[in-house]
Amino acid sequence: MTDEGREPTTSNPFAGVVALQREVSRTAADAVRKSAVLDDRLTSMASVGVGETPSEVVYTENKLELLHYEPLTETQHEVPVLVVYALINRPFVLDLQPDRSVVRRLLEAGHDVYLVDWGEPSRLDASLGIYDYVERYIDNCVDVVRDRSGQDAINVLGYCMGGTLSTIYAALHPEKVETLGLMATGLRFEDTAGVLERWGDAAYYDPRTVTDAFGTVPAEFLAAGFALMDPVANYLSKYVHLYDRLENEDFVENFARMERWLSDGVDVAGEVYAQFLEDIYQSNRLYRNELEVGGELVDITNIDMPVLQIVGEYDNLVPNEASLAFNDVIPADVTAIQYPTGHVGLSMSDAVHRDVWPEVAEWFFEHSGAPSFADVIGEGIEEVLGYDVETDVTVGGVDEVEIRIAGESGHIEHGIVQRDVESIRRFVEDALGVEVSIDKEPDGIVVQVQGDETAGRVVVTGIGEAISEEIEEAIEETDIAAAIELEDVEGIGPTYAGRLRQAGIEDVVSLAATEPGTVAAAAEATRDQARDWVASARDLAERVERPGESGRHLETVDGIGPTYAERLRRAGIRRIADLADTDVDAVADAAGVSAEVATEWVERATAIERAVDD
C-alpha cells in the first residue's frame, strides 16, 4: 500500500502491442476485402459511359458541332434552349449520367435542347479570338436553332466561360435572345474571383508568354493550374476517399466519370485565351461596359431580357461575387439561385438535380412564353375578375411558388404555397372568395371562375407538355379523390357527414383542404376529431395514384423506400402502374432484391391499381 492507502497502478507492457496487432489485422482484412473487388472496380472504371443522352449533329463549323437532343416528352416547349458550353474540357459534364444530367433535366421538363460542343482547336485555330467565337460560331448556332424552331428569339444557357461568351452575345444581339441563363459564370473580376484572379493578375502574369510559346494553350497546362488551387484534395485526398469506398460500386463509377472528364481536357485557342485574360479578367472591361469585340462596343445595357444566375455558394473557381455583382450593372430583371455546392457540383450533385434544375426548367418556361400552372390559374383570374396575378417559382422552397394578387386599389393577398394545382387553386379561392375549376380540352386548359357577382371561362393555350400533363393529372386525381365518400374517413358517420355537406364540405378533397377549426364547427365535433379527419382525408387524397405521375408514389407501396424507388425509376419503372405491369424478375434485377420481395411489390401495386380503377 502507498501512503495514500491505494494500490500503485502499473501499465500493461503489452497493451500497445495488442492494439497495434488489432489495427494491423483490421487493415489487412480491409485490404483483403478491397482486393477481392479491385479487378471488378477497375473494369467498371474503364467502361463507364458518359454523355449518353441520344442526340444528333445538326450543324458543324470548323471543329464545332451543334447537338440536338432527342425529346423525352411527347411535345416540347416552342422556345428551345441552346446550351453554350465552356471552351475548357468536354461538355459531357452536363450529361454525366442519367440521374446527373443537366441536359436530361431540361428534356424531362419538356424543353427542346441544343448544345454547342466546341471540339478541340488545332494549331491552325490559334488565332481565333472572342469575335470568332461570339459573332461567328455562337451567332451561327443561334440562327440555326431559330430557323429550326421558327422562333425569332431563343433561350440561351451558358456554362462558366461559355456563360461569359453568352453574355457578350446577348449584349450584341438582344433581339435573338429570349432569356439568358448563366451557370457559374465569371462576369466581374475586381477582388471577387479568388485565387485565380490573384494568379492571373497583370502584375504577375502575361498570357501572351504562353500563347507565343504554344499557339494553342495546352489542356495539361490548364488542368495543372486548376488542380493546384487545392493540391491536397486533388492529388491526395480524393484517392484516399476512393480506396476507402472501393467496395461501393456506385461511388467508384461516379469517381471514374468525374476523372474521365477532368483528364479529357481540350486545348484553347491562343488568341481567345489571351483576350479573355487581358480584356475581361485583368482589365474588367465587360463589367465596366468598356469591352469591344470586332470594333463594336459590347453595351451591357442592352441586356434587358430576363436573366437567371445559377451559382454555387462554395464555388472557389468562380466565387459568387464574380457572378452576382453583374446584376447591378444591367437593366434586366435578374433571378438568382444560390445553392450550397461547388463549381462542378452545380452540374453533378444529386441534391442540385433534385432541388435546382427543376426550378431552372420552370424558370425558362415562365420567362419564355409558356405559362406555369400557377400562371394558368392566374390568367383565368385576370381575364374574368380583372385582378393582377404575379407568380415567382424562385421564392420559397423547390416545391413552392410565390403568388401576389392585386386589384385596382393595390395589394389584396400574397403568399408562398405548395407548387401543385390544388394548393394554388385553394389559395386563390380563399384570397378572393371565388370558386375556381380547371379542365382540359384539346385547345388548352379551361379555367372557370365563379364569384358572387362575376363568372367567366377562359381557355389558356401555349402550355408546355410537362405542365399540361401535371394539370391533367391533378384534374384526374381530384376527380378520383372526390369520388371517395366522407363516410370512408374513419370516425365520420352519416350524422357528421350530413353536417359537413350542409357546410359545403362535400367530399374528401374539400375536407383535406379545410382547416380543422372550420371542420369542427361545421360538424359540431371536437378539434381533435376534426384534426384526425383532415389528416386522414389528406392521406387518402395523397395516396390516389396519378396516372402520369413519375415521382413519389412508388413509395406508397409497402416495402419500397426512397432507395429502392430510385433504382426502379432508373430502370424505367416510374409509377405504380409501371410496377404492376413489369415482370417480377425485371423488378428484382432493377431494385437488387429477391424475387420473393419483388413479387410482393408487384402484387401490392396491382391491388392499388385495381382499387383506383374500381
* Residues annotated catalytic, as ranges: 160, 315, 343
Cα–Cα distance, 385 to 433 (Å, whole number): 12
Residues contacting 503, CB < 8 A, separation 6+:
518, 522, 523
Kind and range of the H or E element at 400? strand 400-407
What are the two backbone dihedrals, phi and then psi, of residue 440, each rounded to the nearest 5 degrees?
-110, 130
Cα–Cα distance, 124 to 110 (Å, whole number): 40
Cα–Cα distance, 70 to 78 (Å, whole number): 15
Longest dimension (CA), the chain: 100
Residues contacting 142, CB < 8 A, separation 6+:
82, 154, 156, 169, 173, 176, 177
**410-418 and 154-159 strand pairing:** unpaired
Burial class (CB in 10 A: 0-12, 13-18, 19+), 143: middle
Cα–Cα distance, 80 to 150 (Å, whole number): 10
What are the two backbone dihedrals, phi and then psi, of residue 309, each rounded to the nearest 5 degrees?
-105, 125
Instruction: Tell me if 582 sits within 8 A of 540, measured CB to CB.
Output: no
3-state per-residue secondary structure call for 291-357: CEECCEECCHHHCCCCEEEEEECCCCCCCHHHHHHHHHHCCCCEEEEEECCCCCHHHHCHHHHHHCH
Cα–Cα distance, 209 to 65 (Å, whole number): 30
In a 3-state reduction of DSSP, which class is residue 418?
strand
Question: Residue 76's closest CA among 110, 53, 102, 106?
Answer: 110
> What cell does 140 get?
451561327
Q: What are the residues facing 312 on neighbouring strands? A: 339
Place of cell 415521382: 551
